[in-house]
Structure 1
Amino acid sequence: MARTRTSFDDGWSIHVGNDIAHSRRILAKAATANGWSDLTTEEHAEAGGEKTIVEKFGETFQVVKLRPSSSDSQWRAVDLPHDWRLGQKPARDHSLPPDYPRSWQGFFPVGVAYYRKTFQYDPPPAGRRVSITFDGIAGFSDIWFNGFWVGQQCTHYSPVSIDLTEFLRPRLEGPNVILVRSDSREAEGWWYEGGGIYRHVWLETHGEVHVVRDGVHIRTTMANEEKASVSIQVEMLNEGSNSLKLHLEASVREGDSTHVVSTVSSGSTVLASCQAQTLSLEADINNPKLWELGNGRMYSMTINVVCDDGTVRDSVSCPFGIRDVEFVDDGIMVNGKWTKIYGANIHQDWAVYGVALPDRVIEAKLELCAEIGVNAIRCAHHPPTPELVDHADRMGMLLVPENRLLSASSFSIDQLRGMVRRFRNRPSVLLWSLENEEMDVQGSPMGRAILARLIKEVNALDPDRHTIIGGVVNFDDDYHRLPTVVGMHYRVFFGVLDEYLLHIPDKPHVLDEEGLYASTRGVYDYNKERAYAGSFSTLRDVMMDTEKPAANAALMPPNFKITGNVAANLTLAYNHPKVSGTFVWTALDYIGEPTPQRWPATTSSYGGRDLCGIPKDYYWLLRSLFRPAEPIVHVFPHWTWPGKEGERIQCRAYTNCNSVEFVVNGTVVASQESSGSLVVLKDGIEYQPGEFVARGYRGSEPVAEHRQWTAQQPSQLKMIPDRSLLSVKDRDVSFIRVAVTDNNGILIPDAAIQIQFSVSGVGRLVGAHNADPSTDSYTSTTSARAFNGFVGVYIATENKPGEIRVSATADGLHAASVKLTVSENENSHRVHHALDEAKIKLFGLHLSGEDLRRMRSPMVECIDRHEI
């Protein structure tokens, strides 16, 4: 019997607030005291259903069914995924628990929201089961179906699946009602977590005899270019009334193709009623296409559950990849090829959407990381959404999913098991991270016992991958010796890396958090009033500038020395011969945990890119480290300082070159060797309008340049989409950068004008955001004020092919427009479409290799260097 999996995202209603008739979980009898969890009086009448209990027996009956009128509450239509909290205004006086720093959630309010949906669905034929799966509901959630309380979840980050088969209402008796209560009043993390049903919802069907959820485990036991051997374990369940004799048939295909490369069958077995059983198979694949970094070659395994009469009772398909990873002292070996782990931490939220990201935006975030040079992502600090793992598999990006809490409670163990079972077949998964900075208990016997339990659980489900924990190594206990890879936070930052490497010398070491550098795009000195960190400020300037510095300095005991040079720190971290790899904190900004943790800051500023994906100066440091073969130099600040002619401007450069030469209007004004990826000109450079060039040398050879020009008066708007070809399917999205420039296309670096947007055709404007980390506006849909020259705009497709025209206007400037094409091709976005920042002249012009040689040739001096 064919399985089905149907999106259940559309057609919901939401009520924000805890002021409606609360549906009771349990009250004397099943399906009683229903509140909004069943049909209202009007809905019941419209459906022509039987009389209610009250109408039949009166209110003296032992249990009264409460059926509110539809006029009792205000509901509005929404589609999922949805984050209701992002539409609220951040404020410094929102009510929060007294022991919870108000800044952690970005000063957004918390609260309760109800989601409700009615739908017609005939009960399935005999032998079929129907379930609903919520991939993620924020906060503590309760779920009702047709008046029955059917499930709950105590975490934002793990799915919940509920079998609805017996609860379904026949079509003649009216629609079914599903009600979800999402309570985010008690925060689970110390960052913005959103609210509501923020991941996908699926309605699924399968036969009574079926493979259990995540019940296929595929292991590559041997792999090289000639042959791969694959071990398969399949867990089955018989929910029917009779025993069945059956066997398994497995076939392997390349990617999404129909080309079968291997088939295998198991022996027969008898599966009794209401019993589970696991069968094993072995398959060989000749001349396998190995999964590699940057080249995610995938296979698909189809498992058929077949009765002896040849009837297929269930069929499931699972993606997997063939690859081998080995940790070595100074890196990892992927299929025998050495690389460092150039890792980065990211959170799951983003501008305009909050935590309710469309699939394409999840993909785009990974692609923005890959464009920097990142080859591994740590999912901080929770299990990822399945769509992120899907795209990491496709693009060849390693992942470190993270268990949310160090706990051995039954529900915490279930969440850990669920994460491992969901993703253990995926080639992108490098490590299992079991906790993050649980320092209150890590040195205690209880903490050690809990961690040992978690490691045992993971090893039983996935014996092929290593485990790691994130935190601070304590010399007084052996807690950090328990995982197979030693994880360490900010050891370089505190200047104690080498002594910690010697503490556990016999295991691989990974700096799973390092860097901790805050900066705001286009800001150079710390602005306390606006709570902006700057490219010239230090973390001590901003992190400790709060009423409760301990709230954001948990890793700062007084005996540590803080080394403030982020360039030198990260250069050491990513090049140390005894460190397998490092994950910078962070590749991208995120909402909440703002830096500094003071109003009006609502966004963390630790990223190399801001909350719209636009690069900061810090981006170029990360790129120079993550792409060492590409010569890079980036000088900052910009070169537009009206009124400062003749003054000396503070000047620095990030580079992976040996030395940097600085040229103003064709004259060399300074030259200095690089130290730890950074060049600092202590006396600065005298400002003269015109052209400013930083030239990077390796030995005596110039190998990289960064050219900047002085901007003139604001003249026009420019629009740069990350993708111009979209798919009609999958609710595709294009991100457009809108820049304020002069007549030559040079960015106005301090532009703060209001820009209006309009969209026509087969698309819509989801929202605009300027990535100001101290803003209270995240969901504007008609206009936005430029922040240091930029605004980001998100355009979503509708359900038909055609064209989308997006226009931007501002008073006194030439308007801009861009055309997007929507095609019927499915998943046209599975090819990387991240912008190469080195080719976008809005950031100056970064040159190396053939581009540099061409630009420096006398034959092409006439090139229009100002064109975007």
Structure 2
Amino acid sequence: GAAGRSTVALRDGWRFRLIDPDGAAEDTTDAADPAHDDSAWREVAVPHDWSIEQTPTTEHGTTSGTGFLPGGLGWYRLAFALPRAFAGKRISVEFDGVYMDARIHCNGREVGHHPYGYTGFALDLTDLVHTDGRTENVLAVQVRNRLPSSRWYSGSGIYREARLVVTEPVHVSRWGTCVTTPRVSEDSAVVRVETSVANASGAAREVEIRSTVEDADGRTVARTASRADVADTATETHELTVRHPRRWDFASPHRYTLHTELRVGGRTVDTYRTPFGIRTFHVDPDEGFHLNGRYAKIKGVDLHHDLGALGAAVSADAIRRQMTLMKSMGVNAFRTSHNPPSPEMIEVCEELGIIMLVEAFDCWRTGKNRYDYGRFFDEWCERDATEMVLAARNSPAVVMWSIGNEVPDSTATAGLAMADRIIDAIRAADATRPLVIGSDKYRRLPAKGSAADLMLAKLDGLGLNYNTAKSVDDLHAAYPHLFLFESESSSETSTRGTYQEPEHLNTGENHTPGGRATSSYDNNLASWTMSGEYGHKKDRDRRWFAGQFLWSGIDYIGEPTPYDVFPVKASFFGAVDTAGFPKDMYHLFRSQWTDEPMVHLLPTTWNHREGDTVEVWAYTNVDTVELYLNGRSLGTRRFDRKKTVDGRTYLETTEATGDDKTFTDGPYPGSYTSPNGSAGKLHLTWRVPFEAGELKAVARRGGRTVATDVLRSTRAPHALRLTPDRESVAADGRSLVFVTAEVVDRHGVVVPGAEHLISFDVAGGSLAGLDNGRQESAERYQSRTRTAFHGKALAIVRSGTRPGTVRVTARADGLRTDTATVRARRAGDRATTPAPEFRPGHPAPVDHPHADASYSGRPDTLPAAALDGDPATGWSNGFHKAATALLPAFDGARAEDWISVDHGRTRSYDRVEVSFTVDEGHSLPAAVAVDVWDGRAWRAATEVRTEWATASDAPTVIGFRPLRGSRIRLTLTSRHPGEARGAVRVSRLEAPAA
């Protein structure tokens, strides 16, 4: 530790026991007793999330919203001895976050209770601990996460860092420095430092306070000192001048370090380190956001705090990977949805040049779930808001404080006083940053004098969640003192590698078990959401609109809209999936938010049926793209170069888009129209008759090729390919390597349909988690096996504690094995807690006969219903999309779908009996094609004879020449594609053995 101060990380050696996965039982254990026998408990390292270790289940109060992972009641215990040198010192324990309702005991005595899972806290242990070097001290932490406590996956346990802090009686208080830069120019910057000094010695002391500023290279650039008489506490203010300061900015996030030294009687008693940055910013209601005097759009994302397969357990490596991905998409801002962030997240954003909107709460007194923070709000809101600010106020990345998200109380009369309490607490700790709220309550103008109207008088800015362009303009006119931005934009839902009906602006969802996925053509929307293209255009066209935060940057565990059924346990909102694999939305925003030339084709695979016509899109930030199929040009498409009304240039097609029904006049009725009078799309389009081979996009600027993207048809799966994200790793037992596993053909092309079960083995390290980005999955995140999804999976590997080589091997039946190696570097601080052993997972067996379908339009029309013998039930591909704020209702029939029956063993088929429903929404199919799976390929039925039924739900009998196989499939062509009456419903399906 620093002179006079010791900081001891409390990471290793914790003992843990999950007492009750429901968390409802009264705790009758004596786990707080130092003499309690915890020898049978697990040894774990902190940060630790016990929920992510569990198997997804519908028991223990879980819901889809929290990822079907249990919470419960758990205990942690840590035994440690303190040296004699600590006698007479002040000793405290700090936790950065415990989810949730934590009670901390030291040597048998309860020393603190902290309900909120997202703020840190410190507890004084000085009078309770032994400092003789021999006697063990025992910290015991009870954690209770009774579900539902959150709308998204929260994790459970001591999921952020913990530490002991040992100081002299005279020391810098916790969060005891406040650094601001009130005057900044090219020549100099004034750095104002307020230092809070505590004196617990019982006698007044004269204290010398020294402040020294160093730049990133360790050079001293300013220093000063003063003396103060400190009886109990005192605050001393210094002003230092830094010559020719280097600004913290998006592209060059330069940081300085303040070193605070306290001296008493000529002896150093404390040294305290505070990173900070020199920058200016302001947000103007009419001129938007400016950083260091330069106009900039906020190009932001919302993220929840889980780290995919690692759960909520904080890892700086995993956070850095997430935010580096976001930065590569063009992101320059992050909203901490909907809670204060970890210190590691703040540090990474500082390093990468990403500004932060730090948010306090998802609810106030009125909760959104039975066991959420609403229970504790009245007693704790000021303390938690203050802790949020103190923990982050010195960060140059932080530019706004949010008092809440979609808070029910925020538009109620009682909520005005609640807001005042939070606002007063925040401004008491930091008066330099604007205050905002993120809200879905302002999609229409509030009545003058209403609580919703009065709330806006308290704030500097308003974050809007899913507002139309016209409502944004109305608010700007009605509240000229507020700066406006989109705190949640878009919220389109998509699954990596899934594509559906690009001709429609909103599509139905597939409810077939095992096939629950949504389209990546930016065209699957919930009733309140909007396409990514629409959200961007609305923001782009208004200089005064400060910017947007895309919901969401990365898929997260829980909240799997549009589904609410096991085992769909992860969200669909992200531009990147939970494994960190970009989806197409990533490339849309990359094309709008970055300058380096790029082009991206979708669909991202070139495996289709001969005769299909495929709608191909290109996202690009270059004006001209030519598409080639097997070397033949399919034509060039171009964006028009346009200007916003304030003169900023952008690329867009010029055409009607049909994406905003509130525009009823002008040149493009029904389409979002820019204030400059133009409308268009942010992608280029070709309709391509499929032909196997290579599809290539060539982007040109001024006739010169500046970017390409290539898709290739694949052959049979041949091998596994492993790619680690780094060449070396610290051998500290905590650092992470992210290894991508791909199923490839003989030419090294990823096979999109590959779903092999992959097993992973690690030597010289350990597995930390597995993922594949699939939202519908009952697989454990912490297992030795994972199914590939669209040809990919991710292994997160934790380093060992010995220098040498970390070796990762992946195996799958029928595929060539691959091994990846990473060099492990010597590290000073090494983990001592053994890594947990993961067991392999095994997919649940399938019952036979088993029905499947390419698409099921509703959750109550699944293929299994065609086999239950009840004509009142049945499978259907019919769907209905309700109207949204921008789009009309839609229920047009799909052109073609299939339904199949798998009997699990080889048999002979020569006929199938199928009963079709005919009603206002369903018609007989125009054609039925029959195929049988022989174990290697689908074989088309020949000599087909069809006896069509003459009544609804009566059997249609289809006979054919006998075929042997285990599965029979019927491909059904709609008689009325695109019309409300054209869906197909099968109430009974039987394929008797020949």
Deviation at 1:729, TM superposition (A): 4.5
- Structure 1 residue corresponding to 2:91, chosen from 118, 124, 130: 130
C-alpha separation between the residues in 1 aligned to 2:184 and 2:490?
Answer: 36
Contact 1:139–1:184 under 8 Å retained in 2: yes
Alignment-derived partner of residue 147 in structure 1: 108
C-alpha separation between the residues in 2 aligned to 1:709 and 1:70?
Answer: 57
Which stretch has the larger CA shift, 220-229 or 772-781? Answer: 772-781
Alignment-derived partner of residue 442 in structure 1: 410
- Structure 1 residue corresponding to 2:198, chosen from 229, 233, 237: 237
- Structure 1 residue corresponding to 2:585, chosen from 618, 621, 625: 618
Equivalent residue letter for 2:460: T
Alpha carbons of structure 1 residues 817 and 35: separation in structure 2 relative to 1, 3 Å: same
Would you say 1:77 and 2:43 are equivalent positions? yes
C-alpha separation between the residues in 2 aligned to 1:466 and 1:261?
Answer: 30
Contact 1:719–1:739 under 8 Å retained in 2: yes
Which one has a bigger Cα radius of gyration? 2
C-alpha separation between the residues in 1 aligned to 2:56 and 2:324?
Answer: 29
Matched positions, count: 756
Alignment-derived partner of residue 482 in structure 1: 458
Equivalent residue letter for 1:355: A
Equivalent residue letter for 2:274: C
Contact 1:486–1:508 under 8 Å retained in 2: yes
Contact 2:741–2:794 under 8 Å retained in 1: yes
C-alpha separation between the residues in 2 aligned to 1:125 and 1:105?
Answer: 43
Alpha carbons of structure 1 residues 172 and 805: separation in structure 2 relative to 1, 3 Å: closer
Alignment-derived partner of residue 29 in structure 1: none
Equivalent residue letter for 1:4: S
Deviation at 1:825, TM superposition (A): 7.0
- Structure 2 residue corresponding to 1:374, chosen from 331, 352, 356: 331
C-alpha separation between the residues in 1 aligned to 2:197 and 2:390?
Answer: 14
Would you say 1:6 and 2:8 are equivalent positions? yes
Would you say 1:782 and 2:784 are equivalent positions? yes
Alignment-derived partner of residue 344 in structure 1: 301
Alignment of 1:43-62 (within 5 A): none
Alpha carbons of structure 1 residues 797 and 770: separation in structure 2 relative to 1, 3 Å: same
Alpha carbons of structure 1 residues 20 and 367: separation in structure 2 relative to 1, 3 Å: closer
Alignment-derived partner of residue 515 in structure 1: 490
C-alpha separation between the residues in 2 aligned to 1:766 and 1:365?
Answer: 16
Residue 381 of structure 2 aligns to a residue whose secondary structure is helix
Would you say 1:411 and 2:396 are equivalent positions? no
C-alpha separation between the residues in 2 aligned to 1:217 and 1:118?
Answer: 35
Equivalent residue letter for 2:380: F
Alpha carbons of structure 1 residues 429 and 637: separation in structure 2 relative to 1, 3 Å: same
- Structure 2 residue corresponding to 1:39, chosen from 27, 34, 37: 34
Deviation at 1:131, TM superposition (A): 0.9
Alpha carbons of structure 1 residues 450 and 756: separation in structure 2 relative to 1, 3 Å: same
Would you say 1:499 and 2:466 are equivalent positions? no
Deviation at 1:454, TM superposition (A): 2.5
TM-score by length of 2: 0.72
Cα shift readout 1:437-480 (whole Å, capped 9, x = no counterpart): 11x22223322232233233322322221111100325221323
Cα shift readout 1:815-847 (whole Å, capped 9, x = no counterpart): 2222211224789xxxxxxxxxxxxxxxxxxxx
Equivalent residue letter for 1:239: A
Residue 37 of structure 1 aligns to a residue whose secondary structure is coil
Alpha carbons of structure 1 residues 814 and 23: separation in structure 2 relative to 1, 3 Å: closer
Cα shift readout 1:617-658 (whole Å, capped 9, x = no counterpart): 11111111221x23333221134325x112212333333344
Stretches of structure 2 lacking an aligned partner (at least 5 in a row): 366-376, 448-452, 501-508, 639-651, 654-679, 830-994
Alignment-derived partner of residue 319 in structure 1: 275
Alignment-derived partner of residue 707 in structure 1: 710
- Structure 2 residue corresponding to 1:740, chosen from 712, 734, 743: 743
Alignment of 1:764-803 (within 5 A): 764-803=766-805
- Structure 2 residue corresponding to 1:669, chosen from 606, 612, 634: 634
Alpha carbons of structure 1 residues 197 and 820: separation in structure 2 relative to 1, 3 Å: same
Alignment-derived partner of residue 688 in structure 2: 685
Would you say 1:262 and 2:217 are equivalent positions? no
Cα shift readout 1:414-439 (whole Å, capped 9, x = no counterpart): 1111111111111111111111011x
C-alpha separation between the residues in 2 aligned to 1:730 and 1:225?
Answer: 45
Cα shift readout 1:12-49 (whole Å, capped 9, x = no counterpart): 11111239999999xxxxxxx98121233xxxxxxxxx
Alpha carbons of structure 1 residues 457 and 174: separation in structure 2 relative to 1, 3 Å: closer
Which stretch has the larger CA shift, 810-819 or 200-209? Answer: 810-819
Alignment-derived partner of residue 349 in structure 2: 392
C-alpha separation between the residues in 2 aligned to 1:89 and 1:522?
Answer: 26
Alpha carbons of structure 1 residues 299 and 271: separation in structure 2 relative to 1, 3 Å: same
C-alpha separation between the residues in 2 aligned to 1:593 and 1:20?
Answer: 20
Which stretch has the larger CA shift, 473-482 or 132-141? Answer: 473-482
C-alpha separation between the residues in 2 aligned to 1:125 and 1:589?
Answer: 46
Equivalent residue letter for 2:391: R
Percent identity between the two aligned chains: 28
- Note the aligned Cα RMSD (angstroms): 2.7
- Structure 2 residue corresponding to 1:271, chosen from 230, 244, 247: 230
Contact 2:807–2:819 under 8 Å retained in 1: yes
Residue 458 of structure 1 aligns to a residue whose secondary structure is helix
Residue 426 of structure 2 aligns to a residue whose secondary structure is helix
C-alpha separation between the residues in 2 aligned to 1:680 and 1:372?
Answer: 19
Alignment of 1:418-817 (within 5 A): 418-438=387-407, 440-472=408-440, 473=442, 474-476=445-447, 477-492=453-468, 496-525=471-500, 526-529=509-512, 530-536=515-521, 538-540=523-525, 543=526, 556=528, 564-599=530-565, 600-627=567-594, 629-641=595-607, 644-658=609-623, 660-672=625-637, 674-675=652-653, 676-679=680-683, 681=685, 684-696=687-699, 703-729=706-732, 731-761=734-764, 763-817=765-819
Alpha carbons of structure 1 residues 453 and 69: separation in structure 2 relative to 1, 3 Å: closer
Contact 2:459–2:482 under 8 Å retained in 1: no
Cα shift readout 1:237-294 (whole Å, capped 9, x = no counterpart): 1111211122311111113x5421111012x33222xx21111111111122221113
Equivalent residue letter for 1:742: D
Deviation at 1:699, TM superposition (A): 7.6
Equivalent residue letter for 1:475: P
Alpha carbons of structure 1 residues 195 and 234: separation in structure 2 relative to 1, 3 Å: same
TM-score by length of 1: 0.82
Cα shift readout 1:520-574 (whole Å, capped 9, x = no counterpart): 111123421243122147444xx46xxxxxxxxxxx5xxxxx6x54313323324
Alignment-derived partner of residue 252 in structure 1: 213
Deviation at 1:109, TM superposition (A): 2.0
Contact 1:23–1:34 under 8 Å retained in 2: no
C-alpha separation between the residues in 2 aligned to 1:394 and 1:741?
Answer: 36
Deviation at 1:500, TM superposition (A): 2.3
Contact 1:531–1:596 under 8 Å retained in 2: no
Deviation at 1:177, TM superposition (A): 1.5
C-alpha separation between the residues in 2 aligned to 1:425 and 1:181?
Answer: 32
Alpha carbons of structure 1 residues 700 and 820: separation in structure 2 relative to 1, 3 Å: closer
C-alpha separation between the residues in 2 aligned to 1:338 and 1:784?
Answer: 46
C-alpha separation between the residues in 2 aligned to 1:195 and 1:231?
Answer: 39
Residue 409 of structure 2 aligns to a residue whose secondary structure is coil
C-alpha separation between the residues in 2 aligned to 1:153 and 1:455?
Answer: 21
Equivalent residue letter for 1:85: S
Equivalent residue letter for 1:611: T
Contact 1:571–1:625 under 8 Å retained in 2: no
Alignment-derived partner of residue 923 in structure 2: none
Residue 604 of structure 1 aligns to a residue whose secondary structure is coil
Residue 577 of structure 2 aligns to a residue whose secondary structure is coil
Stretches of structure 1 lacking an aligned partner (at least 5 in a row): 26-32, 41-67, 97-101, 545-555, 557-561, 828-868
Equivalent residue letter for 1:811: D
Contact 1:225–1:290 under 8 Å retained in 2: no
Residue 165 of structure 1 aligns to a residue whose secondary structure is coil
C-alpha separation between the residues in 2 aligned to 1:781 and 1:88?
Answer: 10
Residue 403 of structure 2 aligns to a residue whose secondary structure is strand
Alignment-derived partner of residue 253 in structure 2: 296
Deviation at 1:808, TM superposition (A): 1.8
C-alpha separation between the residues in 2 aligned to 1:125 and 1:469?
Answer: 45
Equivalent residue letter for 1:412: C
Equivalent residue letter for 1:163: D
